[in-house]
Structure 1
Amino acid sequence: MSDMSVICLKDYKKCGFEVESCELYFELFEEFVIVTNTMEINKLDAQEKHIKLDSQELELLEVYLNDLKLNDTRYDIQEESFTVYNVPNSFSLKIKNKLYPQNNTELEGLYKSGSIFCTQNEPEGFRRITPYLDRPDIMSVFTTTIVADKERYPVLLGNGNKQSSHDLADGRHEVTWFDPHPKPSYLFAIVAGDLGVISDEFITASQTKVELNIYCDKGAESKCFFAMKSLKDAMIWDEQKYGREYDLDVYNIVAVDSFNMGAMENKGLNIFNSHYVLADEDKATDADFMGIQSVIAHEYFHNWTGNRITCCDWFELTLKEGLTVFRDQCFSADLNSQEVQRIEDVKGLRERQFVEDASPMAHPIQPDSYISINNFYTSTVYEKGAEVIRMLHTLLGESRFREAMDLYFKTFDGRAVRTGDFLWAMSEVDKEKRVDFTQFKRWYHQSGTPILEVKDSFCDGVYTLDLKQVVPNKVDEIKQEPFYFPLKVGLIGSDGKEIKEEMLVVSKEEESFVFEGLEAKPYLSINRGFSAPIIIKQEKNEYAFLMKHDKDSFVKYESAQSFALETTEKLMESAELDAEFLNSFGYVLDLDVELSYKALLLELPSISSLMQRQKVVDFTPIYKAKERLEREIATEFKEKLLDIYRLHHKPKNKELDTVSVGERALKNRALRLLSSLESREVIDLAYKQYQESLTMTDRVVALDVLENITSHEGGLALDDFYERYKDDTLVMNKYFSIIAASQREGVLLRVIASQDDEVYDKRVPNLVRSLVGVFAKNYKYFHAADGSGYAFVADKIIEIDKINAQMASGLASAFKIYNRLNQNNKNLIKKELECVISTHSLSKNTYEIISKILKI
């Protein structure tokens, strides 16, 4: 078993050395790679006699200290470290080692994705390439030379700008890259392969020309143009919004199939999961295109919020990730629909982060300890971290937030900093001291989702709003203090007209806010725009009124969702369907609003949303009630839904403009609701849509509908889809996801059988996520009463942990609602997880997740 020691924030110590420069020489061969690493190092602490470098799974060949070759008495090699004894104050250290990328299934360090050499070094992959001070506060200037066979690997890429290239006598060639900007090792990257490319250029605000390249497998070049457009849009936006220009002569993106994450912001050489680069209308959905736009922008924005200014240690991860997620969310909102983007962001937060906050894996956005830092690339660090930044933006206002960001960039450029440094910049522009930053910091150090209990009253023209914060204890039951947050509220008259909107600042456990001079008790619109990541609980809810009259697009959506949630919960108790809810739903059907937004208003709550409201989760009544609500709505509004479908179904339209995307979203919402009727008419509509539509969006929705309601047409469509796209791994991810998410009987058997498909490869993270990962989110069958779903996923965790620990720990997270389940399901999970955690040589990634779930 790996080292399971806990790393704590309180134990952080500044390194006693600095790496002034690092020159790397890579000799790439088919069977192995030789790396020669020459570092110029200075001692910062005179008490340090020996230098201890991070090193993992490396075959050491030679070591030189100031050109003197060392014998093995001068250094020590351990499983995860390499120590050189008795080093001087300033010295050159040259290390030559061998590694085997073709055997690296962890996809960390240097590995091969198909025939492409590539790297992934965040957070601690560089130590798998060469011994180094592999920590984010060690920033150095890197020069990288790559040597390889020119025919097999004509493209050799590194960080920074290309310095030189020339052919060698033996059919090989070498290219040298120099990055003038000091960076930590996690931002280092190389790529070597026989790649296709599309190229463009960008002229910065200061009239500097930047060469833009997107590399991919040959033959896929035509799928890169949307990504290129997204990159240029992001560069323009960052200049206009934050005054940030790009700082190198070239910006390269490389798409690879085997990648643990979505993408990586390596300086000047972003390596991407191909899912977030390659797209055309035939093979990518509208959601895929929006995902590409967002992730391309996210990695570009990291150039300043992550690269030029990086985090001092991994406990500060949200410093770069939360801030950059906020920036990419704002970018997507500005380019598309503000209201739709905000709702989608909140939906994602609730589906993933709220569940995490209510589980044994709850942690602050700045965790105070970890066993494996890979496990903290979480929705809490990213999405909740973004909401914390958004609250600062709300509290300061647009202009002061921009002023604070300018100060942050100016003060800390080229440095590794802490979240406290970021908050310092925010506080420096807050001259009026409107924000209590001391209390606001609790968002960084406290976990869980606060609940705000709301009561109101009206007397003699005075409206009083009484608020009470209920802050959950930490996982270890330590009490936590009240948060400080903005709360946007609106008061609406009975005639539907807005009386006033105000931003309140909530900071106490209990407090009251008074509004005077009102003629009658107003209707309350609360947490407008989701101004704070909290749960609202009110004594009386006016959902129907707010669905009709609230001008705030988020609260209108929230009211529709909350009304549907409460209606479904009543159906779980065998009550009659609420007639007022049906009337309100019918009102939304007739609304003349932006079509994508209307599709969201008509969306019924997810199983996850319903699950979160139960003290003890039982999925059977949830599914039954949700299915009943869908049937009742489809029966009541069948003709209206059919009219919406017919009006907006345009199978030959494959444009990506707002209206076209909205039409597809709305008509497909109607089709999904109608599918609950399981009628021949709906089956024919879905099958015709699958056959005739030109977009992957329409095809996938039709395929999913058919798979869930008919084995015959569903089977025909699935077979056709397979034959059409079996040679395209990205599309086959959708195929496996549809099988794994199916609500028809026998899904587990079909998932098990799919593992033997020639297209499926358990070494490719995207395929594992699409089959096993999606099944683990299929609550109906993952949580089957006989425990078969648990046993299957537990076996996959053990199997995949030996291949890729990061993927295995991700699958283990599916069990995080363990503490919320009924006793039968808890017993079944405990049995399986105890089997997993007792496995010999289990990775620390997986051990940490399971030990937290079981509270070991």
Structure 2
Amino acid sequence: MSKEPQAIYLKDYKKPSFAIREVNLTFELFEEYTIVTNVMKFLKLDNVQELRLHAEELELLEVFLDDVALDQESYTIDEESLSVKNVAESFTLKIVNKIYPHKNTELEGLYKSGDIFCTQCEPEGFRRITPYLDRPDVMSVFTTTVIADKEKYPILLSNGNKHQCHENFDGRHGVTWHDPHPKPSYLFALVAGDLGSVSDEFTTMSGNKVALNIYVDKGNESKCSHAMRSLKEAMRWDEETYGREYDLDIYNIVAVDSFNMGAMENKGLNIFNSAYVLANTDTATDANFMGIESVIAHEYFHNWTGNRITCRDWFQLTLKEGLTVFRDQSFSADMNSREVQRIEDVKGLRERQFVEDASPTRHPIQPKSYISMNNFYTSTVYEKGAEVIRMMHTLLGEEKYRAAMDLYFNTFDGEAVTTGDFVWAMEQAGGIDLKQFQLWYHQSGTPRLIVDEKFENGVYTLMLTQKILDDVDGSKQAPMYYPLKMALINQDGALALEKMLIVSKEKESFSFDGFAFKPVLSINRDFSAPIIIEQQESDYAFLMKYDTNSFTQYEATQNFAIETLESMMQGSKIDEAFVEAYGYLLDLDIDLSYKALLLELPSISTLMQRQEVIDCQIIYSAHEDLAKHLADVFQEKLLQIYKENHNPDSDAIDAKSIAQRAIKNRVLKLLSASETKEIALIAKEQYDNSITMTDRVTALDVLEHTDEPLAEEAFKDFYNKYKDNTLVMNKYFGLLSSSLRDDILHRVKTLQNDEVYDDKVPNLVRSLVGTFARNHKHFHAKDGEGYKFVADKIVEIDKINPQMASGLCSTFKIYDKMNKENQKLMKRELMRVISTQGLSKNSFEIIDKILKEQ
């Protein structure tokens, strides 16, 4: 690159010099361009003479200051800003500019997704629409008029309540929307298209009726019922749990195919990736249904935790995202199985965030600096941020936590605030000092806790040592403060003691007396703190059998499997004690969804995280050998479980049906490790006869790994049936690119030429290229071809959509833990990418951090 991008630092934050009291926007939409007229009422807040507005990739037409047209000597414009000289204490600025949405492949600002105009303004997309103080601490009341061809764009939407409709005689029409709640520009939204819709209504706890609308491509209306039901459940839950009710007359959701994120919480007009709205049992898996429920709720909950109270600056992003993830996780736990939800949340944290914490891209949940803000929409900010909120909830208890949230809402409603303001509310209402706890906001990496035990004269002593790694810059980090739930279980399996400890020192011990025999420790119950436990000794088989906490029972199962696999990786035989304990799980009479999780072997990613130097081939070999051994030993029992729960004629999505599909598909995948014709035929029969996408996808996955001719036949049938459905084709590309077959890279390259595939659609890129980059066996192949392919795609996609490209860059973040041979191959490709002329700051920042670690 000709010029290295510059970082922005939290320490350099300064309050805005201007307030914008009102914004009146007019959009005149045409096929080849859009004219934006922006009228803003400003108030000067300090003694400055020049107004500098953010502006990127805009064609400026006119500028008026208090109705006087300005000549080019009165303002200056460059690649990033528009500056107006000699402004008064208060004034009105009118700007007219032209933009080209149909050329906008970055999907930031105003762009077209198919035939739909839509926007994405978080974090810094509004400056690509019109010049503005595009920062979250500038909040204003917006009125927006959208004008377009009436036949092509009969639906015209923006934030707030519908204020007025306008009819013209030349085939064009307009609608004016008014949002009475001040908001920052990142929450602005606009949609125009010829859309179908599904409508309902919700009556709030104070009796206000809210019109609910979900807009989709025509023909997809029948796939919206689950999303609508989820929305109403979320609205009801937020009233009952947090006392928060909706504050506009209308709530609109729009689903589009081309979207960089999952969804966006724009005030009153949420824009969603269609993957998180559209679902029926023929096209969506059970996991898709659960994901839709979660994301619909997440964006709705943002109305209070993100919109009504927003971030002062982007370094505070976890203020809204960590809190709202915690809220949507809690909602999902109340709607479904609490124990399954908690385990799934922790699995996601470990698969994504723990990997990030162990990489050169690690950062605190409140970063100190960034080059591209898009790169900080990370698992750390979101999911680790949610764990930090959860720990405060644990420390305070439900009653005090609710009082603290009420204080937070009542004190800061309508303001742009900091994480410190949130912690203040927790301290005030909770009666607790959280000064040391706030290190969770400022320190990076996953804390480790070394656990030792001593038992003498009936006294059990637990000795704990915190192990805190240095920060990325080499600076020392302090011991953390967190709740640690633990229990002691007697040798007969009876629960002897259950307690929440507070860990705050580098070394400390806790003693408990009155025991005839040494009890068995169950530690970090419910995953009360997002830490890594290093336990000197543990009776995993005992905990698998007797632990009363669902999370630590699951944890014991995973840890015993990990211990077994790591011994195998070092040349040892399979530990038959684990095999015996696994067999015990098969006979448990428990919730089937939870049982399906217990029977899951640790992921390849989990095993990779634990290696000082990673060699994927050894990990895969051990994993496959253990799975095959379990499948062979327990074949009869596994087949019995499959047959008892296989109901091909059912497509119900109630808890029992979902649980039955979960357990029968778990045992089918395990049985497939034996690679027998019998299992392949069972999978083919499931594919042919089942009526749910959940069953079809599992059957395809099993066939792909057991029987090539049957797999080819089934995949061909699947393609022909669903090739016109982009959401289902995402599953098709994902299944094929995750295959462990030797020819997978050639197949992925070939699939890029499929008529369904399009590099400009983020979901398709994620499903094909992104999935391949997580296919550790082939991405990390010793010939380096996997690295070369993904690096080529980064360079190619960076020119189209830098946000997507930087996401692919992150797949290289385990570079520093790879073996020397793979490191050399990775470095060659990373150096090639970072040397590319015109590389975006999004991709540059990620690769630069990875390479600087060495």
Same fold (TM over 0.5): yes
Q: Deviations over 1:369-416 (max 9, x none)?
A: 000000000000000000000000000000000000000000000000
Query: Where does 1:218-229 land on structure 2 (aligned, <5 Å)?
Result: 218-229=218-229
- 1:849 equivalent to 2:842? Answer no
Match of 1:257 in 2: 257
Match of 1:42 in 2: 43
Match of 2:243 in 1: 243
Please identify runs of 4+ aligned residues in structure 1 that moved more than 4 A. none
- 1:686 equivalent to 2:683? Answer yes
Match of 2:11 in 1: 10
- Matched position secondary structure for 2:420: helix
Q: 1:196, 1:218 within 8 Å by CA — same for their partners in 2?
A: yes
- 1:172 equivalent to 2:172? Answer yes
Q: Deviations over 1:152-171 (max 9, x none)?
A: 00000000000000211111
Match of 2:707 in 1: 710
Question: How many angstroms does 1:632 deviate by?
Answer: 0.4
Within 1, Cα distance between the matches of 2:617 and 2:36? 56
Q: 1:144, 1:176 within 8 Å by CA — same for their partners in 2?
A: yes
- 1:27 equivalent to 2:24? Answer no
Q: 1:709, 1:744 within 8 Å by CA — same for their partners in 2?
A: no
**Which letter maps to 1:188?**
F
Q: 2:159, 2:267 within 8 Å by CA — same for their partners in 1?
A: yes
Question: How many angstroms does 1:567 deviate by?
Answer: 0.4
Match of 1:548 in 2: 545
Within 1, Cα distance between the matches of 2:59 and 2:701? 49
Q: 2:458, 2:515 within 8 Å by CA — same for their partners in 1?
A: yes
Q: Deviations over 1:563-591 (max 9, x none)?
A: 00010111112211111101100000000
Match of 2:450 in 1: 453
**Which letter maps to 1:430?**
G
Question: How many angstroms does 1:519 deviate by?
Answer: 2.2
Within 1, Cα distance between the matches of 2:569 and 2:596? 25
Query: Where does 1:233-632 land on structure 2 (aligned, <5 Å)?
Result: 233-431=233-431, 433=432, 436-632=433-629
**Which letter maps to 1:536?**
I
- Matched position secondary structure for 2:728: helix
Match of 2:85 in 1: 85
Which has the larger displacement, 396-405 or 1-10?
A: 1-10
Q: Which runs of 5+ in 1 are unaligned?
A: none
Which has the larger displacement, 166-175 or 340-349?
A: 166-175
Q: Which runs of 5+ in 2 are unaligned?
A: none
Within 1, Cα distance between the matches of 2:167 and 2:707? 60
- 1:820 equivalent to 2:821? Answer no
Question: How many angstroms does 1:518 deviate by?
Answer: 2.0
Q: 2:401, 2:430 within 8 Å by CA — same for their partners in 1?
A: no
- Matched position secondary structure for 2:402: helix
- 1:667 equivalent to 2:664? Answer yes
Q: 1:740, 1:772 within 8 Å by CA — same for their partners in 2?
A: yes
**Which letter maps to 1:122?**
E
- Matched position secondary structure for 1:382: helix
Within 1, Cα distance between the matches of 2:470 and 2:605? 22
Question: How many angstroms does 1:313 deviate by?
Answer: 0.2
Match of 2:719 in 1: 722
Q: Deviations over 1:299-334 (max 9, x none)?
A: 000000000000000000000000000000000000
Question: How many angstroms does 1:3 deviate by?
Answer: 6.5
Query: Where does 1:823-834 land on structure 2 (aligned, <5 Å)?
Result: 823-834=820-831
- 1:69 equivalent to 2:66? Answer no
Q: Deviations over 1:275-307 (max 9, x none)?
A: 000000000000000000000000000000000
Question: How many angstroms does 1:222 deviate by?
Answer: 0.3
Question: How many angstroms does 1:541 deviate by?
Answer: 1.2
Which has the larger displacement, 594-603 or 571-580?
A: 571-580
Question: How many angstroms does 1:177 deviate by?
Answer: 0.1
Match of 1:205 in 2: 205
Identify the match of residue 802 of structure 2 among 800, 805, 826. 805
- Matched position secondary structure for 2:435: helix
Q: Deviations over 1:82-130 (max 9, x none)?
A: 1001111100000000000000000000000000000000000000000
Q: 2:778, 2:786 within 8 Å by CA — same for their partners in 1?
A: yes
Within 2, Cα distance between the matches of 1:680 and 1:579? 27
Match of 1:106 in 2: 106
Match of 2:769 in 1: 772
Q: 1:528, 1:554 within 8 Å by CA — same for their partners in 2?
A: yes
Q: Deviations over 1:423-454 (max 9, x none)?
A: 000000123x3xx4110010000000011000
Match of 1:756 in 2: 753
Q: TM-score of the superposition, structure 2-length normalised? A: 0.99
Which has the larger displacement, 254-263 or 571-580?
A: 571-580
Question: How many angstroms does 1:228 deviate by?
Answer: 0.1
Match of 2:60 in 1: 60
Q: 2:677, 2:707 within 8 Å by CA — same for their partners in 1?
A: no
Q: 2:447, 2:466 within 8 Å by CA — same for their partners in 1?
A: yes
Q: 2:110, 2:118 within 8 Å by CA — same for their partners in 1?
A: yes
Q: Deviations over 1:657-684 (max 9, x none)?
A: 1110000000001000000111010000
**Which letter maps to 1:27?**
E
Query: Where does 1:630-669 land on structure 2 (aligned, <5 Å)?
Result: 630-669=627-666
Within 2, Cα distance between the matches of 1:682 and 1:651? 16
Within 2, Cα distance between the matches of 1:748 and 1:392? 46
Within 1, Cα distance between the matches of 2:42 and 2:606? 53
**Which letter maps to 1:835?**
R
Question: How many angstroms does 1:460 deviate by?
Answer: 1.3
**Which letter maps to 1:205?**
M
Question: How many angstroms does 1:476 deviate by?
Answer: 1.5
Within 2, Cα distance between the matches of 1:541 and 1:567? 14
- Matched position secondary structure for 1:438: coil
Within 2, Cα distance between the matches of 1:168 and 1:460? 91
Match of 2:147 in 1: 147
Within 2, Cα distance between the matches of 1:708 and 1:674? 11
Match of 1:132 in 2: 132
Question: How many angstroms does 1:646 deviate by?
Answer: 0.6
Within 1, Cα distance between the matches of 2:674 and 2:371? 49
Q: 2:119, 2:191 within 8 Å by CA — same for their partners in 1?
A: yes
- Matched position secondary structure for 1:52: strand
- Matched position secondary structure for 1:147: strand
**Which letter maps to 1:411?**
T
Within 2, Cα distance between the matches of 1:272 and 1:658? 26
Q: 1:197, 1:216 within 8 Å by CA — same for their partners in 2?
A: yes
Within 1, Cα distance between the matches of 2:271 and 2:343? 29
Question: How many angstroms does 1:21 deviate by?
Answer: 0.5
Q: 1:809, 1:846 within 8 Å by CA — same for their partners in 2?
A: yes
**Which letter maps to 1:335?**
M
Q: 1:260, 1:807 within 8 Å by CA — same for their partners in 2?
A: yes
Q: 2:256, 2:272 within 8 Å by CA — same for their partners in 1?
A: yes
Within 2, Cα distance between the matches of 1:549 and 1:302? 40
**Which letter maps to 2:262?**
G
Q: 2:262, 2:272 within 8 Å by CA — same for their partners in 1?
A: yes
**Which letter maps to 1:8?**
Y
**Which letter maps to 1:772?**
V
Q: 1:461, 1:518 within 8 Å by CA — same for their partners in 2?
A: yes
